[in-house]
Structure formats: C-alpha cells, structure tokens
A and B are shown apart, each in its own frame.
Chain A
Amino acid sequence: MLRILNGFLVVTVIGCAFVLYSLEHASRQNERQIAKYKRQIAEEQENIKLLNAEWSYLNKPERLERLAREHLSLRPAEPQQFVKRADLAALLPERPAPLAPESDGDAIGDMLKGLE
C-alpha cells in the first residue's frame, strides 16, 4: 500500500513540477511582454509629446499668417463681412433654384444633374 502511495506521490510531484515550470515559463514570458509594451507605451508617449510640440510649433500664428499671405487670397475678416442670419438670404449671390427631386427618382442623381 505504501508503495502505491509512494508511486502516486512521485507521479504527482513530477506532474506538479512540470505544471509549475510551464506556468513560471509562461508568466515570465508575459512579464517580458508587459515590460516590452510598457517601454513601447512610454516611447509612444514621448513621440506624441514631441509631435505635439512640433504641431504647436508649426501652428505658430506668425507662421500661419505668413503662409496664408503667400499662398492664399484670404485676408483677416473685417467687421462689415459679418451679417445677421436673417439678412443672409439677401446677400447671397443669385443662383438657379434647386431642382425638386422626383418622388420616385434618384434624388442624388438629380442633384448632380442640377450641378452640371
């Protein structure tokens, strides 16, 4: 009886050792992964900060103003360019009335036709 018990215990010990070893191996691998991801996150955060700083630098109002002057025909808005919403219709340039979409037709297609 003792022999059977001993045999059983030996097998159990070997089994436990194997399970334990594989668990430890897996957890170590997971730890390595975690460390790697943490490093990547930190790196990405650094990159984000750097890019934010660069974005802010590129968005300097001074620079935008210069670029806008060189490449666009836009100018700073003047007060007389503001109109009340109620007066808007009167100030818009005239254009043909939009075509009423046919009830059973292709509404978007009609609109596109209207644009042509």
Chain B
Amino acid sequence: MTKLRGHNRLRLVMLGFMVCFAVIAARTGQLALLAPEAKRVAAPADVRIPRPDITDRNGEVLATDIKVSSLWANPRKIIDVDEAIELLTAVVPDMNTVELRKKLTKDKAFVWLKREVSPFERQAIHNQGVPGVGFRNETRRVYPKGRLAAHVLGYVDVDSRGLAGIEKFMDDQGALYTASLTDPEQMRAMPAQLSIDVRVQHALTSEIAKAVSHFKAKAGAGVVLNINTGEVLALTSLPDYDPNRPIDAQKQVNLNRVTTGVFELGSVIKAVTFAMALDLGVTDLNGRYDARYPLVVGRSRINDFHAQKRILTVPEVFLHSSNIGTARMALDVGLAGHKAFLQRVGLFERMRTELPEAAAPLLPKRWSKIASVTAAFGHGFAVQPLQGITVVAALLNGGRMVPPTFLKRDAATVDGFATRIIKDSTSRDMRHLFRLNALKGTARKAAQNAIGYQVGGKTGTAEKVINGRYSKNHRLTSFVGAFPMDDPKYAVLVMLDEPQPVKGTYGYATSGWNAVPAAGRVISRIGPLLGVEPKYTEEELQKISKKVTALKGN
C-alpha cells in the first residue's frame, strides 16, 4: 500500500476529531449518568403564593380563596349574535336577553358578560363552543360561615388585602406569621388556625342575639376566654356584618364592641379593687367596712345603689356591690398603690392582640383622690371589655395574667408570657367571692340557668354618659364570670347596651335581670361542648331529682 500524500495529515485531523468527540461523549455521559446537583432557583416574584385559609381551632374552614371564572366576550369576533344569545341563555338562564344583545352588538373588543360564573355553568358554556367568548380566572375570598365570628375574621378588599381583623393582621403586623405558614416551593400555604371554636361561637352569638331582642337592647357583646391559656374561644359583637359583603362592616353600629369600643365597666371593676386590697393585705375576708353613710370625697358624695346602711363584712360589700365599701378599700390602699396596681394589671394602657382594632383606655386626666375612689367602682375610666375579662380571668386562675390571643396557642408555652399579678391565696379568695356572688348575690340568675357548672361571677350596671352627664335611663349592663369555680377553666363576658325593662323583670333593667341570666344560658350551652363535668350543689340536686321524677312519671 503506497503511502498517499497527506496521509499523515489526514491521520492528524482524524485524531483531532476523535479527541474532540471523546471529550463531548465523556461530558454527555457525565451529565446523563451522574445526577446533577439540584440548583436552587429563587421563585419568580410575580408568582403569587396563595393567601392562607383561616380555620377555627378544630379545623373548620372560616375563610378560603376560591377561583371564580368571569365570562367575557369580544363582540367583534361574534359571528352570529342571535345564535350566541340563544346558546348562552340556554345554559345560564339568569342572563337578561335584552342586555346581552346590547352588550354583544357594541363595537368593542372586550365586554364582561357575567362575573363569577359557577364551575358548572362554565363547563356548560365551554361545551357550547360559542366563538368570541372566554373566561378569565379571578380569586375571591369567601367566608363560608357568613356572619359567624365576623369581627375576629375581619374582611378583605377586592384585591384580597386585609382591611380588618385577623385578615389585616396577616398582612401587617402578622406578616411574619403569615410567611411562616407558606411553602413557596409548593405554592401552598398552611391554614391560619384561630383560637375560636365555631360551636362555642355560635352558642354565644345566638344567646346574645336572643337577649338583645328580648330586652330590646341597642347592642350586645360577649366573649368566652380560656382562663389558663388566654385563648379567645368566642367573640361576639351585635349587630354584626357578613364579611362576604364588606360594605356593611364599615358602618359605625357594626364595630367590634369588645376591642374597638371602650366602656365603663362599672361594678365589674370592683373585683380588681377587691383583689388589690386583699393582695396587699389591707383587709381580709373577715374585714368590715362602714357603709352607713354616703362617703364624701371633696365635693362629691358616693352612694350605694342597693343601700344597706350598716357595717358590711368584705364578702357583703362584694355581694351588695357597695360603692362605699369599695371606695373605702381604695382609700385604704392609697393613691399611689391603687395606680400602681391598675398599671400592673394593664388597665391603664392599650391592650394589643392580633386584632388591629384596639382602642386606648379613657383615663381620668388627673389621678386624684376622687379619681381613685370612683375608679375603685369602675366609674370615670373606660377600657376595652376584652381587658376587663382578661383581668378577671387573671384574678381567678391563680393570679397569672395571660395576654389574650385569637390564634391557637400551645398550653405549654403559656408560662413564657404569663405575669404574676396577685398571690395564689388572693386568687382563691376571689374565687370564693365570685362563687358566693353567684349563689347569694347579684349573679344568682347565672347559676340558676347553668345548673351544675358552678358558675361564679360579678355583675356591673354602668350608667352611660349622654351629653356629658351620667344618664339614669341609659345603662350598660355586664356580667363577667367563670366556671367551674372549683377549678376555673373558662371565663365568660356578656354585655348589653341599653337593655329595657320587660315583662318579668319588675321594671328593673340592671345587670342581674338581663346580662346575668343570658350569661347563665351561654354557660349551660357551652359547658357540654367544652367537656366540663357538671357537679351539683344540694339545692341543684333537689331540682334535678324533681325533673327526673317528672320524666319517669311520663
């Protein structure tokens, strides 16, 4: 074989190519056989992570996003208007033929035909195959439970931005919390779990609604609080609104009275004064207070509503809700001590929870002797009702103040943010006073309506300030209590705004006749739901045995 000219050069070229191909083959093999290390790519910013759903503590959906399709048309592309109308109205009967014709004959490239078409209609229209019409997907926030817990949930605007309640919290202060729920890689979000229990919420709302209509009150409100964890199980403020129609929510009457409004809670605050006096050792349960004559402080005279005109023991002062006795307690403690205690229990500052709508308390301008004395029985300063129930819960749970929350809380973490405000022994005395008041005092009707649940409570009837004066006929009645009193688990607040005397109340419209029995009914309904075991007093046992024998007789 003769060597051709250039044979060596050809070999060189071939060798060059072979090397190149070998490199390519090696690299390809490397890529194909060895799994490449997953590179983390930041998610593109324009992809929207869905808004977390909101559920109650048991996972019942309270707010969710659903995709809705809206039907649009391009009239220029519609070939046969009559046929299009016929086909569309055949599957969506609620569309108006005349209006549809007007829209479809316009010389435009885009008209909305119907917003929020249901999935079934969408499929049906799709199957009709009408040319020139199409769907656009939109997300809509829906609240399937309607009015239930509306004041806690809040609402969103058309672009799904929270405007009130937990919805606003999720966008503003709670943005970190919201972010912790989302999983950007999966484009999903865990639901935000509230402390609310839908069943308790419904029981509370329906009982308050009954009380409001029965006593012709202007408004009503209620709270059920877990005394040990600070979780709000139910919060109601009537009148309320449907968050699916947020226009109603902005009306002034529909505001959340429990956190957005501040009220003089009246005698309910006496419990705070009692706890203060007992805790500081100024008096004890055997102490006595002179309530024979009105107390004169400066130019003011302090009278009792149910004047006993005698020397009262400490439990009697509580039972008869004596202003004079309570005022004397505050005087015994002194100005500075009283102020310090009120600050310690947080009644002098704005309470912050997840709900953004939190009103600051209205306080006396100058902390004087008369301010201290009136504050002792709840006059002259106004706080959020939620503050009232939080403080009472702390007085009864062993003396630990737990900031209330609307999000589900792990009971084990409570110690982290609880602060001690009174001694355990003082709390025991307070429980005794509250229970006594429900057995013999002004809160009797609560215990009668909630047989077996060992209710304890304090009532309050505050006169509302109308045109700068206290009005005798405009009252705000309230009940704050807890059950079961041997080991309190839940605190209940019921508040009625301007209840009227009705048949059966003998002309009275004070708390004991309206807010208290309503609270009793609330407790008797939520007790079984919350798994509280009833225990009966002798008297209650007799009542029950009568009922049982009556039943057996049938």
Binding site for B on A (CB under 8 A): 46-47, 49-50, 52-57, 59-62, 65, 76-80, 82
Give residues of chain B (34-88) contacting chain A, Cβ–Cβ below 8 Å.
Answer: 60-62, 64-67
Considering the chains assembled together, what is the distance between the CA atoms of A49 and B55 in angstroms?
13
Tell whether A54 pairs with B144 under 8 Å between CB atoms, given A49-B66, A80-B452: yes
B533 touches A57 (CB 8 A): no
Verify B66–A79 contact, CB threshold 8 A. Answer: no
Chain A-chain B contacts (Cβ-Cβ < 8 Å), number:
67
Query: By the criterion CB–CB under 8 Å, are A80 and B548 in contact?
Result: yes
Q: Are A53 and B61 in contact (CB under 8 A)?
A: yes
Q: Which of A50, A77, A79, A80 has the most chain B CB within a 10 Å cutoff?
A: A79
Note all chain A residues with C-beta closer than 8 A to B452: 79-80, 82
With A53-B142, A61-B148, A61-B199 as known contacts, state yes or no: A79 contacts B65, CB within 8 Å. Answer: no
A62 CA to B209 CA, complexed, in Å: 12
Nearest 6 A/B pairs, CB to CB: A61-B202, A79-B452, A57-B144, A56-B61, A56-B144, A79-B534
- Contact partners of B524 in chain A: CB under 8 A: 78-79
Contact A62 B148 (CB under 8 A): yes
Q: What's the nearest-Cβ distance from chain B to residue A75, in Å? A: 11
Alpha-carbon distance A77/B61, docked complex (angstroms) = 25
Please, which residues of chain A bring their CB within 8 A of the CB of B548?
80
Q: How many angstroms between the C-alpha atoms of A30 and B62 in the bound complex?
A: 40
Chain B: residues with CB nearer than 8 A to chain A?
A: 60-62, 64-67, 119, 142, 144-146, 148, 198-199, 201-203, 206, 450-453, 524-525, 527-528, 533-534, 544, 547-548
Given contacts A52-B64, A56-B60, A56-B145, whether A82 and B533 have CB atoms under 8 Å apart is: yes
Residues of A within 8 A of B60 (CB): 56, 59
Of the residues A50, A52, A53, A76, contact of B119 by C-beta under 8 Å: A50
Query: How many angstroms from the CA of A53 to the CA of B146 in the assembled complex?
Result: 11
Please, how many angstroms separate the alpha-carbon atoms of A52 and B119 in the complex? 15
Bound Cα distance from A52 to B65, whole angstroms: 11
CB of A27, distance to nearest CB on chain B (Å): 12
Closest A-chain residue to B50, C-beta based? A49
Q: Which residues in B have their C-beta under 8 angstroms from that of A49? A: 64-66
Contacts of B451 in A (CB 8 A): 78-80
Bound CA–CA A81/B472 (angstroms):
43
Report chain A residues within 8 Å CB of B198: 61
Q: Give the docked Cα–Cα distance between A76 and B81 (Å).
A: 58
Nearest Cβ distance between residue A80 and chain B, in whole angstroms? Answer: 4
- Residues of A near B528 (CB, < 8 A) are 76-77, 79, 82
Q: Given the complex, which residues of A lie within 8 Å of B202, measured CB to CB?
A: 61-62, 65
